Amino acid sequence: MTLVYPVQSLAAHPPRLSPAYKSTVKRSPSKPLIPMRHTLSELTGPVYGHETVRENDHDLTVQGKGEPIGERIIVHGHVLDEDGRGVPNTLVELWQANACGRYVHVVDQHPAPLDPNFTGAGRAQSDAQGYYRFVTIKPGAYPWGNHHNAWRPAHIHFSVFGHSFVSRLVTQMYFPGDPLFPFDPIFNSVTDKARSRMISSFDLENTKPDWALCYRFNIVLRGRNATPMENK
Amino acid sequence: MQQAKPDGVTPSQTVGPYFAYGLTPNGKYDWNDTFSNNLVTADTSGERIRVEGQVFDGDGAVVPDCMLEIWQADAQGRFSDPQDKRALPNSTFKGFGRIGTDAKGGYAFDTIKPGQVADPDGKPQAPHIVLAVFARGMLLHNYSRIYFDGEAANAADPVLALVPADRRATLIATRQPGGNAVYRFDIHLQGDKETVFFDV
Q: What pLDDT tens digit does each residue of chain A (232 aa) get?
A: 457 888 888 999 999 999 999 999 999 999 999 999 999 999 999 987 667 899 999 999 999 999 999 999 999 999 999 999 999 999 999 999 999 999 999 899 999 999 999 999 999 999 999 999 999 999 999 999 999 999 999 999 999 998 899 999 999 999 999 999 999 999 999 999 999 999 999 999 999 999 999 999 999 999 887 555 444 3
pLDDT number for residue B106: 98
Give the distance from residue A165's alpha carbon to the nearest chain B alpha carbon, in angstroms.
8
> What's the CA gap between A110 and A104, in Å, rounded?
11
Beta bridge partners of A94: A122, A158
pLDDT greater than 70 at residue B1: no
Does an H or E element contain A192, and which?
A: helix A192-195
**Contact at CB, A14 and B119, closer than 8 angstroms:** no
**Rounded to two decimals, what is the model's pTM?**
0.96
Taking contacts as CB-CB distances below 8 angstroms, the residues of chain B near A23 are 14, 136-137
- List CB contacts of B87: < 8 A, sequence separation 6 or more: B78, B79, B80, B81
CB contact under 8 A, A39 and B23: no
Query: Is A155 one of the catalytic residues?
Result: yes
Residues of B in Cβ contact (< 8 Å) with A30 = 58, 190-191, 194
A208 touches chain B (CB under 8 A): no
Amino acid at site B141: H
Residue A148, judged by CB atoms within 10 A of its CB (0-12, 13-18, 19+), counts as exposed
Whole-number Å distance between alpha carbons of B173 and B176: 9
Cα separation, A180 vs A150, in Å, equals 9
Give the C-alpha distances (Å, rounded to integers) separating A141 from A72, A138, A151, A181. 16, 10, 6, 11
Strand partners, B188: B56
Instruction: Give the pLDDT confidence score for residue A7 in this predicted structure.
Output: 85
Chain A from 94 to 153: CB within 8 A of any B CB: 94-97, 103-105, 107-108, 119-123, 129-130
Q: Is A115 left (phi over 0), alpha (psi -120 to 50) or beta?
A: beta
Share of chain B above pLDDT 90, in %: 84
pLDDT tens track for B16-67:
999 999 999 988 888 888 899 999 998 899 999 999 999 999 999 999 999 9
Q: Which one, of A10, A169, A7, A230, lies nearest residue B120 by Cα?
A: A230
Closest to A192 (Cα-Cα) out of B3, B199, B8 = B8
B103 burial via Cβ count (<10 Å: 0-12, 13-18, 19+) = exposed
- What ipTM is given for this predicted complex? 0.95
Terminal-residue alpha carbon distance, chain B: 27
A152 is catalytic: yes
pLDDT tens digits along B175-197: 999 989 999 999 999 999 999 99
Residue A92: what pLDDT?
Answer: 96
* Residue A168: active-site member: no
Cα–Cα distance between A214 and A134 in angstroms, integer?
Answer: 10
Query: pLDDT tens digits for A5-15?
Result: 888 889 999 99
In the DSSP assignment, the letter for residue B92 is S
